[in-house]
Amino acid sequence: MDENIEKRAALLASTALGLFRAGRLEDAARALREAIHLSPSNPQVLAAFQHIQETQDSGSKIPNLCRKLLQDGEVSAGEEAVKIAQSGGNLDREAAKAVILAIIQYDKEEDEHLKIRLIAGKILAALVQHSSDAKVAFVALVAGGEMTNQVFAKVLLLGPDAADALTSVILDAKNWKEEQQDKILKSYFQYLLDRVADDEEAEVAIRPISRLVAVEASRLQPLIGKHALVDFLELITNGSKEEVRTGALLATAKYLESIEAEKSLQLLGDFLTTRIQTGDDEDMALAFNAAAALFPVATASLANLFHTDGFVQNLVPSLQGRSTKVELAAINLMSAACVDKTCREAVAKNCEIFLKIVAANEGEGSTAASLALAKLSGDTPTPKPGETTTKAPKTNKEIEDLASTFKKLLLKDSEDSKQQSVEGLAYTSLTPSIKESLAADKATLKSLLALLTPTTSASILFGILTTLDNISRYTKPITEEQRKMAQLKNYANATPQNKDLEIHKFDKDPFVTKRCRAILDAGVIPALVRLSKKTSPQATALISSILLSLAKTTSHRGTMAQQGAVRLLLQIYSSLPAFPPLSDTEETTASESAMATHIITSHALSRLLISVNPSLAFSATLPITSAVAPILTLIKTIHTSTADTRDLLPLFEGLLALTNLASTTDSIRDVIVKREFGMIEELLVYANDMVQRAAVELVCNLMVSPETVALFVDGPRSGNRMQILLAIAQADDLQSRLAAGGALAMLTEWDAGVKKVIEREGGVRRILEVCEDEDDGVVFRGVVVVRNIVMTGGEAGKKKVKEEGGVDVVKRILEDALSQEEKNGEMMQALVEVLKELVK
C-alpha cells in the first residue's frame, strides 16, 4: 500500500485517540472510521480501535462503582468511576439516568462524608461532559419543575466540579427551548444570590454567579438589586478565600459593565459615601479596599469618583487619628488609583509626601506605600499650557531603593509580602537600570522563577511575568516619522523631553540580549512550561511576549526548543480563541488584544523554527503539521492588514520558518501549497525586497513537491507564475536570484516544466541570461536549467537553445570556468554535457 496512505491512516488514528480523550466522541468516531477505510490492517489503527472500544465497554462498570462509593463509602471505587467517565466510558440512557439520580439523592451532608460528596460531584461532572445520555438525564432532572431548587441545593453540596457542570448545562442553549432556558437560568441565578449573604454558602455560590454574569449579564442584571451588589462588594474585601474575592470582583465588574455608566457611578458613589461618612473604621476600610479592588476593572467609574470635588485633596487629612487598618486601606486605594493617568497625577500632587513618610517608617503600611511610590516613579505630571513643571522625575537612586525594598520582601513567607513585592518589581523594572540589576541578581531571578507554579495566585503570576517581560523586551527603533513627531512635540513644550528621541543605553539590543541570556540560563523556559496549564489570557500574552524576545537571538533557539518552548507555544496557540476579522465599524479592545496575542505567539514560534531542525523539534506526539497553521495565519494576518504602518518582521520571519518546515517532507509541503499558495504567490511580487526574497526561498523548497510543480505547468495562472520566477531569477537581490534559479532547476527536472519554459516567450533567452550572471552560484543554477532543457526537451529544446545563441553562451561559461583556479567540477560536467548535445 502507498506509504502516504499508511501515514495518513496512522495520523487519523492518533487524532481519533486525542479527540476521544478530550471527550469529543463523535469527532473521534469520524476520524477512526476514515482511518479504518484507508487502512483497516494498519497496526496503529487497530490499536486505536481496540483502545476506544475497551474504554467505552468499561463504562458498564460505573453503576456498580458508584453504588460502592455512595452506599459503602469506598472512595477508591468512586475515583475509578471518575477515570472511566473522563476517558469516555459509555453508559446506556437508563444506566446514566440511574447513576445521575443516585448521586443527586445522596443525602449525607455531615463533614465526614465531604470526600464522598466531592468524588460523587466529579463523577457527575465527568458523565455530563462526556456522555450525551447522561447530559439528557441531568437536563431532565434540572427542568423537573417544583423540585428544581432542591436539585440546585444538592448539586452545590457536591462541590465545585458538580456546580461547574450544572452552570455549563444551563448556559448551553442547545440543551433547552428558549423560554425554558430563560426560566431555569433566572431561577438558578436567584437561588445563588440568596446564598451570598451567608459566608459559608457564598464560597460555593460566588463562582457560578461570576460565570453566569460574565456570559449573561444583560439577562441577569435586573435580578441584582442594591443589597446583592453590597454583598458582592463586601465579599471583594472580606471573602475568606482568594477564589471568593476574585469571583465577587468579576461578578461586580461584569454587572457594572452591563448597566448604564450613570447608574454605575451612582451605585458605587452611594456605597462608598455611605460608609466613609459613618466615620467608623471598619466601614471606611471596607469602602477604601472595595474601591481599590474595583479600580483596575471599573476604572472610568472609580476615576470619576476619585476626582469628585475634595475627595483626593481630603484623603490624607481624613486619615488623621485613624487606625492602621484604615490607613492601609487608603494607601491601597492610592496605589490602585495609579492605574489611571489623571488619578496618578492627583495622587502625586496630594499624597506623595504622606506616602514617603509612611514608607520610611518601616510600619505595617510601609510596603504598600513603597508600592504606590513605585507606580509614581516614572511619572511627571503634565504641565498645563503655558506652565512649566515644578516636579522633577524620580532619580534612579530613589527607584533603586524601592526595588531593593521589593527584593527583600520577596524573601518573606507571607502571601501579601510576595504580592506587594512582585507588583512593585513589575513597576520598578520599567526603569532601565533596574532591568539590568534584576537580570544580574541570580538569587532574585531564582526566587521569581520558583513562584511560577500552578498553585501560585494569578495576581502574583501576573506580576512576575510582567517583570520578566520588562527585563527581556526589545525596544523598537524609532522611525523617521516618529522622530519628527517627537521633535514637533518638543517644540510645543516649554520643557523639551529628549528622552522621546533617544533609546536609553540599557534598552539597546546588546544589553537586552545579555538580559535575555541571563533569564534563559536561570531556567525561565522550564518554569513557563510548568506554568502553562494555569494562565489567564493576560498572563498567556506575557508568556508569548517573553518567548518572542528570548527567541530573537539565534543562539538561544536551540536551548529553548530543547526545553519545550515549541510545544509550549503550540499549546498556547491552540488555547487562544479564534479572533474574528475586525469590521470597519467594530474594532473592540478585546479583539485587538486577541489578535495581538495570536501574532506574538505565532511570531515567537516562527523565530524558533527558523533555526531549529524540525526533525528534532517535533515528534509523533507533536507533528510538524501542527506548526503550519499558526505560521500561515501569521503571514496572512500581516499581509492582509490594512493598517497605515505594518511591522513586516513577523511576515518575513514567518516565511523563513515555513521555508525550514518545507525542507522536511512532501506531506508538509502539500499542506502549505494547498492551504495558502495563492498568498505565497502574491508575496513573490511584494514591494519589500526581504519579503520577496523569503517568499521565493519558500517556493524553492516547495518545488520539491509535485503539487507545486503542477501549479507552474498547468492551469490558467501557470504561465504568469513561470514569468514571475524567471523575472526574479534576474532580480537585483542575489539571494532572491539564487532561490529563483534553484526553483527553476527543480521545476525543469520535470518534462512538463521544460515544456513550459520552452513555450514561454523569451523563456529560454532569460535562462541563458541567468547563465551569465556575475555570481557563480546563480550561473550554476542557470546551467542546470539549460542542461534539463537540452536533455529532457528533446529536439525542440536543443533547437530553442541554439536559436537563442546558447552554444556561444555555454562555450563562454566553460572557458571562464576552466580559467579559474578553484574549478567547480559539477558545473563543468554539466557544461560539457550540454555542449556535446548542442554540437551533435
The mean pLDDT value for 501-511 works out to 86
**Which pLDDT belongs to residue 836?**
86
Residue 58: count other Cβ atoms within 10 Å of its Cβ.
17
**Which pLDDT belongs to residue 343?**
92
The mean pLDDT value for 823-828 works out to 80
3 state SS for 429-476: CCCHHHHHHHHHCHHHHHHHHHCCCCCCCHHHHHHHHHHHHHHHCCCC
Mean pLDDT score of the chain, rounded to an integer?
85
Nearest C-alpha neighbor of 768 from the set 794, 799, 806, 730: 806
The mean pLDDT value for 735-743 works out to 95
pTM (2 d.p.): 0.76
Greater confidence (492 vs 111) lies with: 111
Give yes or no for residue 710 having a pLDDT over 90. yes
Task: Copy the grid coordinates of residue 253.
Answer: 465588574
Q: Distance (Å, rounded) from C-alpha 108 to C-alpha 114?
A: 9
Task: Copy the grid coordinates of residue 43.
Answer: 497496526
Residue 378 burial by Cβ neighbours in a 10 Å radius (0-12, 13-18, 19+) = middle
Which residues are CB-contacts of 68 (< 8 A; sequence separation ≥ 6)? 74, 77, 78
The mean pLDDT value for 175-181 works out to 82
Q: What is the pLDDT of residues 102-120, one digit of tens each?
A: 888 888 877 777 888 889 8
Residue 642 burial by Cβ neighbours in a 10 Å radius (0-12, 13-18, 19+) = exposed
The mean pLDDT value for 574-578 works out to 81
**Which pLDDT belongs to residue 695?**
96
Q: Distance (Å, rounded) from C-alpha 524 to C-alpha 536?
A: 18
Q: Distance (Å, rounded) from C-alpha 461 to C-alpha 422?
A: 8
CA–CA distances in Å: residue 354 to residues 170, 319, 427, 707: 51, 10, 20, 72
**Which pLDDT belongs to residue 814?**
86
Nearest C-alpha neighbor of 595 from the set 626, 637, 555, 650: 637
Give yes or no for residue 563 having a pLDDT over 90. yes
Residue 214 burial by Cβ neighbours in a 10 Å radius (0-12, 13-18, 19+) = middle
Angle (CA) 590-596-600 rounded to 5° is: 150
Least confident of 177-181, 419-423, 604-608, 701-705: 177-181
Give yes or no for residue 49 having a pLDDT over 80. no
**Which pLDDT belongs to residue 487?**
67
Q: How confident is the model at residue 535 (pLDDT cuts 50, 70, 90)?
A: confident
**Residue ranges per domain, the chain?**
1-175, 394-522, 540-579+589-661, 664-840
Greater confidence (641 vs 707) lies with: 707
Greater confidence (616 vs 745) lies with: 745
Q: What is the pLDDT of residues 599-612, one digit of tens each?
A: 999 999 999 999 89
Residue the block writes with cell 489611571: 340
Give yes or no for residue 784 having a pLDDT over 90. yes
Task: Copy the grid coordinates of residue 563.
Answer: 526545553
The DSSP annotation for 653-666 comes to HHHHHHHHHTTS-H
Cβ–Cβ < 8 Å for 785, 810: no
CA–CA distances in Å: residue 298 to residues 160, 246, 268, 587, 616: 28, 14, 10, 20, 48
Q: Distance (Å, rounded) from C-alpha 238 to C-alpha 17?
A: 46
72 three-state secondary structure: helix
Q: Distance (Å, rounded) from C-alpha 118 to C-alpha 219?
A: 31
Q: At 822, which amino acid appears?
A: E
Q: Distance (Å, rounded) from C-alpha 702 to C-alpha 714?
A: 16
The mean pLDDT value for 544-569 works out to 95
The mean pLDDT value for 25-31 works out to 75
The mean pLDDT value for 383-404 works out to 61
CATH topology of domain 664-840: Leucine-rich Repeat Variant (1.25.10)
Greater confidence (715 vs 606) lies with: 606
Element (H, E) at 502: none
The mean pLDDT value for 678-705 works out to 94
Nearest-Å Rg of the Cα atoms of the chain is: 34
**Which pLDDT belongs to residue 381?**
44
Q: How confident is the model at residue 588 (pLDDT cuts 50, 70, 90)?
A: very low
Cβ–Cβ < 8 Å for 708, 696: no
Residue the block writes with cell 460528596: 117
Q: What is the pLDDT of residues 627-657, one digit of tens each?
A: 999 999 999 999 988 776 788 999 999 999 9
Least confident of 51-55, 189-193, 474-478: 51-55
3 state SS for 250-314: HHHHHHHHHCCHHHHHHHHHHHHHHHHHCCCHHHHHHHHHHHHHHCCCCHHHHHHHHCCCCHHHH
**Which pLDDT belongs to residue 379?**
52
Burial 112-146 (b: 16+ CB within 10 A, else e): ebeebbbbbbbbbbbbbbbbebbbbbbbebbbeee
Element (H, E) at 187: helix 178-193
Q: How confident is the model at residue 145 (pLDDT cuts 50, 70, 90)?
A: low
**Which pLDDT belongs to residue 757?**
92
Q: How confident is the model at residue 489 (pLDDT cuts 50, 70, 90)?
A: low
Q: How confident is the model at residue 545 (pLDDT cuts 50, 70, 90)?
A: very high
Task: Copy the grid coordinates of residue 74.
Answer: 469506598
Least confident of 200-209, 541-550, 695-704: 200-209
Give yes or no for residue 279 having a pLDDT over 90. no
**Which pLDDT belongs to residue 584?**
38
Give yes or no for residue 808 having a pLDDT over 80. yes
Task: Copy the grid coordinates of residue 425.
Answer: 518589581
Q: How confident is the model at residue 585 (pLDDT cuts 50, 70, 90)?
A: very low
Least confident of 27-31, 143-147, 365-369, 401-405: 143-147
Q: How confident is the model at residue 385 (pLDDT cuts 50, 70, 90)?
A: very low
Greater confidence (712 vs 32) lies with: 712
